[in-house]
Structures are given as structure tokens and as C-alpha cells.
Structure 1
Amino acid sequence: MEVIQAEEITKKFSMKETMESIENFYLRKEENYISPDRMHIEDGDNTALLMPAFYGDYYATKLVGVAPENSSKGKDTIHGLMVLYDRKTMEPLFLCDAVAITSLRTGALGGLGMKHLSRQDAETLGIIGTGTQGWSHLESALVARDIKNVHIFNRTEEKAHQFKSKAEKEFPEVTFSVSPVEDLVKQSDIIVTTTTSPTPVLPELNESEWKGKQIVGVGSFRPAMQEISDQVLHMADEVYVDAASAFRESGDMIRAKELRSDLEDSWDLEKLIKNNHQLKSVEGKTIVFKSVGAAIFDLVVVQSIYERLYK
């Protein structure tokens, strides 16, 4: 069984390729897959997640631990391992750092939401939360749209400046600013929330300030977590999800169901991709895309990496 470190994955598999692998899965899949809701085991503020999936010739499982308080200790919030198996024999083929897979697939899901739902001429991105997922959504936004300006907010301002310095070296053609959250929202075409906050991180603004914007929520994955404000959830013109499980797992979407009665027909990412759905006009609209991830997305990504490296 091959063991691959995170650095090798990120060097040899790009965000663009990750987005394409998920698109191709939905466009080409010819057989059913098995992807149960992930198992949550809560230990105080920490969460252990078990995520198995079966598709084609492969079985994969991801075991992840999420410790929100790690950020205050200078440690990564997420740790974990992922294993890819031969589906018929159940022999392990590939063991890798689950954080690298999670980062790629979560960024790719948000990026695909941007590709299908944000303004075609979107140039300004706002990122709330500067951890691993903040970085992966910077990468995917640059794939999805011609982003020229990025506003960054983090509750610990020092981390926002560290993110800015790293981003300026990696993407010198883009202008980065550390901004108050209110300014970030007002000036951004796309706003990404990547925190594990139990309370909304979006500010209360005049409703007109939200028009023409897409909000991509990716941090809330437990019922007790809500990043997107009641104001935005209530007033949003359209609400989309990466998978239906978002309405059961995320506090954002659980709250959205309490605030409105029009979510039964909300489209998921599969419908967006299969129908090549593009909003004709975002002007005057507020669009929400909520992503929680699912085991099948992890399998698709790790399968693509394995086949790239070894087949």
C-alpha cells in the first residue's frame, strides 16, 4: 500500500483538476454509488467524523478529527487519514493525509458553486476565516472567476496578515487587503465563510448591500454551527447546496428551513453540473450556496489522485 504525504498531493494535483474530477463524475457516472451520511461523534467541542463511500472499482473511507480550539493553540483545526481500497478484494491501495484531500475537495465544491452561481464578471472575493479552507477557496475562486482583489477577515488579525503575506507571494497578480468584515461584504462580489463559529459571522447590513452577491458557506457542518446570518438566510433570492445532507447536518440550512418554506426544490451540485446551470443575471439578487461535503466527493478526488500517480 502506498503512503502519500500532503505535500506530494498538493504538488501533483491542482485545484483545477479537482474541480474537473467532480464535474466529470457527475457528467459520466453510469452506475450508482453508496455514500451514507457521515457519522458524527461529538466529544465536547471536538468532532470525530467517519466517511465511507463506494463507487466503481473503489471503496474509500476517511477518518477525521475536528478540534475548533486548536486555532488558539497554533495548531491545525482538522487532522485525519484517508484510505482507498480495491472494492472487490477490500485490499488497501493508498493511504494519505485526509486534510489535503478535504482541502482540495471542499475548495473544489465551493469553486464549482462559484462557477455556476456567481456573477460572470466577479472580480472581488471576500474570505472570512484564514485556515486551510480559506486558502483552498482562494485557489478555487481563482479557477472559477477572474479575481483581481481579495479582502480577508479573521477574528485574530495577525492570522489575517499572515494569510495575506503568503497569498501575495503565491499570487502576485492579485491585490490582497485585510479588511473589517463590514467592508469586506460591501466590496466583494463573492463572500466565503470558512469558520466553525456557532454564531453568524456575517454582519447585519442594509438589505441593498447584499444584492448582486453570492455567499458561499463552507464552515458549518454541525447543527450547532451557523455562519450565515438569519438576515441573509431569510432574504436570499435563491439557495443551493452541494448535497441534500446539508439540510440535515448544517446549522445554516437547518435554520434556513425554519425561516422559509421554499427549500424543498433547492438544487444541489449534481443538478447544477448536469444541467450546466448558469444564472443569467445575479444583479439585484442574493445567492447562497452551502457546502458540507460528502464521502463520495472524497472518494472521487482520492481516486483521481491515485490513478494520476499510479496508473
Structure 2
Amino acid sequence: MRPMKIVSASEIEEMASAHWPDLVDAAQRSLVALASGQCEAPLRTALPLISGTLLTMPGRLTGMRTALVKLISVVPKNPARGMPNTQGVAVLFDGETGEPLSLLDGRALTAVRTPAVTAAAVRELAGGATHVAVVGSGMQAEWHARVFDAVFHPRRITVASRVPAHGHRLVDVLRTELQAEILAANSIREAVAHADVILCCTSASQAFLEADMLHGGPVKVAAVGAFTPDMAEVAPSVFRESRKAYVDDRDACFHEAGDIIQAIADSALSDGDVVPVGGAGTDNQRVTIFKSVGSAIEDAAVASYLCGSN
């Protein structure tokens, strides 16, 4: 039996930062697999904790030598304790022998996988980005800004946070790292007013992005923060403008994506308007929406690349 490799958070972050285009390509393969059914990805389970949720996510791409299981805890009260709100591990297994090959820091894997998937979707639907608005100031907002700067080279990235001090703190960090001009907005409306790509990276329980906040278009909206039926970032009015929602995992979105569930309940979308983004091609509508809830298939593709186990 081979010794299991331990891959730390810092190693994941360093490898990802040095190879973003390759990581986005790996994420694209996972989106195509999800769209075509060339994968095994049972719906994730959610176990209530005392003050949070423990998520279990297994998955494997057809033809890939490896399979993955990720365990992630989400505890919203943790920042007040001086701890991250998400923690966990991911285990990469040999698909033939069942050997555990690598143990990866789950929080860092999620941190780099999610924006790689978003970048792959935006590349598929739009091709590029000139002015990016990032709504949020946490881990996902930070890493989305990094990926989009490295992959699309936008002229400007504008950050808005519900807690302005947190937004300004993120802007200070990004200005030391990125090539784009980094601005802090006083409100979400101000941040998105001239953006051609809007990245919603929050844990909002109530939708904040409305159709009247968007410019004449075209504009691509990526909503990545809400992962339960009771969470939402994009209001039904925006879906009514787009008339379609591109998603990473269609079945999971019907069960877990509050944005999608609420838009269907409000008759802004029908079930048939929710389509996989993998292989979708360019969308030239005034408003285009990509909604992701995350999938172990995405984790498996990105982890396999990071561990050299494709």
C-alpha cells in the first residue's frame, strides 16, 4: 500500500496560484462531465451540528483513475470564535484498488475549486471579463478576484460588502497582489452599475441583486454563495430578465439552490429553463446567469490535477 500524501492548505493555494489556467481547464472538464452524465455524484448529505452543518460529498468522473470524498463543516458562528466558518478534509482514492492516495485540506480545496468552476463557466458563456464586480468580502470573494484577475485580466475589479469595513480590508489585500485596478464601492448597486461580470460570493439568506441594478448589458451574473433552499443572492426579477439559468449540477440545484427554487416558485423560470453550463457555448442575452452549488465532481477534477492523478 502506498503512503498517503498529505496536501496542506498552503500547498493547495501555492499550486493553484501558479496554475490557474490549468485548474480552470480541469474545472471545465468537470462541468462537461456533469452536463453529459459522465460521472457518479450522489446528492450530498447534510448533517445538522450543534450550531452548523456537516456536508458529505462523494464523486468520480467516468474514466478518471480516482474518486473523492469531501467532508466540510459550515458553522456561521465560528468567526466570532476566531475560527473559519468552513473547515474540512477531502480524501482522494485510487478508483481501482480503493487505496486512499491523498488527504487534502478541504477548506483550501473549496477555496480554489469554486472560483475555478466560476471562471470556466464565464469563459464558456462570455469568453472574457473587463469590469468585474465582486459582492462579498470573505474567502470566496477573495479567491474569485484572484482567479478572474489571472485568467481574464480585467481592467477593473470593484468590491462591495454588506460590512463596508470588511470590503475595504479585502480591497487593501487585493491591491498588493493583483494587476487590475481594485476599487471599493459604497453599495452593491454602485459596484454592479457598470460591471460586465458580477460575482455574488456571500452567505446571504435574502436575495440582494435585483434586475433594476443592472446596466443595459450584456452582463454575466455568477451566484456561488447560496447552497441551501433558504439562501439566495439573485432575486427572481433577474432570472425573469435572463429567461434561463445555467447551472453546474442541475439535479442538485433543484434541491439546494435557493435562488433557483425561489425563481421557479415566482414563475420567473420553469424547470426547463435550468440548463447545464458544460458545453453550453456563448450566450449573448442581455443578462446571463450561472448558478453553482458545488459538486464533488468538481472537487475530484481539481484535486486530481493538484495531486497529479489525472
Q: If the TM-score is normalised by the length of the shorter chain, which range does it land in?
A: 0.7 to 0.9
CA distance in 1, matches of 2:254, 2:300: 22
Identify if the C-alpha distance between structure 1 residues 235 and 71 changes in structure 2 by more than 3 Å, giving closer, same or farther: farther
For 1:240-265, what per-residue CA distance to the aligned partner results, in whole angstroms no more than 9, with x for missing partners? 11111212211111112112344415
Structure 2 gaps of 5+ residues are none
Cα distance, 1:88 vs. partner?
A: 2.6
Of the candidates 222, 225, 237, which is equivalent to residue 216 of structure 1?
222
Cα distance, 1:32 vs. partner?
A: 4.0
Cα distance, 1:269 vs. partner?
A: 2.5
TM-score under structure 1 length normalisation = 0.87
1:52 equivalenced with 2:55 (yes/no)? no
Of the candidates 77, 86, 90, which is equivalent to residue 82 of structure 1?
90
TM-score under structure 2 length normalisation = 0.88
1:5 equivalenced with 2:26 (yes/no)? no
CA distance in 1, matches of 2:118, 2:278: 13
CA distance in 2, matches of 1:36, 1:174: 39
CA distance in 2, matches of 1:62, 1:148: 36
In the alignment, which residue of structure 1 is the partner of 2:71? Answer: 63
Give yes or no for contact 2:211–2:241 (8 Å, CA) kept in 1. Answer: no
- SS, match of residue 61 in structure 1: strand
Backbone CA RMSD of aligned residues:
2.5
CA distance in 2, matches of 1:300, 1:182: 35
Structure 1 gaps of 5+ residues are none
Give yes or no for contact 2:25–2:120 (8 Å, CA) kept in 1. Answer: no
Cα distance, 1:79 vs. partner?
A: 0.6
CA distance in 2, matches of 1:192, 1:8: 26
In the alignment, which residue of structure 1 is the partner of 2:141? Answer: 134
In the alignment, which residue of structure 1 is the partner of 2:25? Answer: 20
Identify if the C-alpha distance between structure 1 residues 26 and 187 changes in structure 2 by more than 3 Å, giving closer, same or farther: closer
Identify if the C-alpha distance between structure 1 residues 177 and 5 changes in structure 2 by more than 3 Å, giving closer, same or farther: same
Identify if the C-alpha distance between structure 1 residues 196 and 114 changes in structure 2 by more than 3 Å, giving closer, same or farther: same
Give yes or no for contact 1:222–1:251 (8 Å, CA) kept in 2. Answer: yes
CA distance in 2, matches of 1:112, 1:83: 24
Identify if the C-alpha distance between structure 1 residues 155 and 74 changes in structure 2 by more than 3 Å, giving closer, same or farther: farther
Give yes or no for contact 1:53–1:299 (8 Å, CA) kept in 2. Answer: yes
In the alignment, which residue of structure 2 is the partner of 1:307? Answer: 308
Give yes or no for contact 1:15–1:107 (8 Å, CA) kept in 2. Answer: no
CA distance in 2, matches of 1:152, 1:145: 17
Cα distance, 1:51 vs. partner?
A: 0.5
In the alignment, which residue of structure 2 is the partner of 1:174? Answer: 180
Cα distance, 1:58 vs. partner?
A: 1.6
CA distance in 2, matches of 1:48, 1:247: 20
Indicate the percent of aligned positions where both proteins have the same amino acid. Answer: 24
Amino acid at match of 1:20: D
1:116 equivalenced with 2:124 (yes/no)? yes
For 1:50-77, what per-residue CA distance to the aligned partner results, in whole angstroms no more than 9, with x for missing partners? 0011343222110001122334554322
For 1:200-253, what per-residue CA distance to the aligned partner results, in whole angstroms no more than 9, with x for missing partners? 122x46376364211100000001101112321222243211111212211111
Identify if the C-alpha distance between structure 1 residues 197 and 107 changes in structure 2 by more than 3 Å, giving closer, same or farther: same
Tell me which moved more, 240-249 or 27-36: 27-36
Identify if the C-alpha distance between structure 1 residues 175 and 208 changes in structure 2 by more than 3 Å, giving closer, same or farther: closer
Give yes or no for contact 2:20–2:151 (8 Å, CA) kept in 1. Answer: no
Cα distance, 1:169 vs. partner?
A: 0.7
Identify if the C-alpha distance between structure 1 residues 130 and 28 changes in structure 2 by more than 3 Å, giving closer, same or farther: closer
Amino acid at match of 2:305: S
Identify if the C-alpha distance between structure 1 residues 54 and 208 changes in structure 2 by more than 3 Å, giving closer, same or farther: closer
Cα distance, 1:41 vs. partner?
A: 1.7
In the alignment, which residue of structure 2 is the partner of 1:292? Answer: 293
- SS, match of residue 226 in structure 2: coil
- SS, match of residue 19 in structure 1: helix
CA distance in 2, matches of 1:113, 1:186: 22
CA distance in 1, matches of 2:49, 2:238: 31
Give yes or no for contact 1:220–1:227 (8 Å, CA) kept in 2. Answer: yes
Cα distance, 1:47 vs. partner?
A: 1.5
CA distance in 2, matches of 1:183, 1:292: 26
Tell me which moved more, 290-299 or 4-13: 4-13
